[in-house]
């Protein structure tokens, strides 16, 4: 299973939870956009007080950028919590199905 995650995992995921009182009436994009630090980050889930980004594979080896990102999150007054995870088996499965569907439709 670890080989599958390493071979097909799409980097890291970063989940943010915003403080409810800060989010009320604010445009979320003005609160924090991870893409200001890592332009290749992809926002994959957005909720009322939370959002998730997919971070690139090379971020794992770029410790300075990862440290900068974590420093930004620690200092953000409107972020209640955050979590950095590697790709889950479910995400890998969905990615493989999407790739298979693309190949099927393009060829």
If one compares 44 and 4, the residue with the highest pLDDT of the two is: 44
User: Where does the pLDDT of residue 9 fall: very low under 50, low under 70, confident under 90, or very high at 90 and above?
Assistant: low
Cβ neighbours, 10 Å, residue 11: 18
- Please give the tally of structural domains in the chain: 1
Give the whole-angstrom CA distance, residue 102 versus residue 6. Answer: 22
Q: Is residue 93 part of a domain?
A: no
pLDDT of residue 60: 58
The pLDDT of residue 105 is above 80 = yes
Work out the percent of the chain whose per-residue pLDDT is above 90: 1
Compute the distance between CA of residue 74 and CA of residue 80 in angstroms, rounded to an integer: 10
- Asked whether residue 45 is assigned to any structural domain, the reply reads yes
Residue 107: the pLDDT is 64
Domain ranges, residue 46: 9-87
pTM of the model: 0.67
């Amino acid at each position: 299973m670890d080989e599958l995650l390493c071979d097909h995992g799409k980097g890291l995921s970063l989940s943010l939870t915003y403080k409810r009182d800060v989010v009320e009436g604010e445009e979320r994009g003005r609160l924090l956009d991870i893409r200001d630090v890592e332009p290749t980050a992809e926002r994959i889930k957005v909720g009322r007080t939370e959002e998730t980004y997919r971070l690139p594979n090379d971020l794992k080896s770029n410790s300075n950028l990862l440290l900068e990102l974590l420093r930004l999150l620690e200092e953000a007054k409107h972020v209640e919590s955050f979590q950095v995870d590697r790709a889950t088996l479910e995400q890998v499965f969905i990615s493989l199905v999407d790739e298979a569907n693309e190949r099927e439709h393009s060829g």
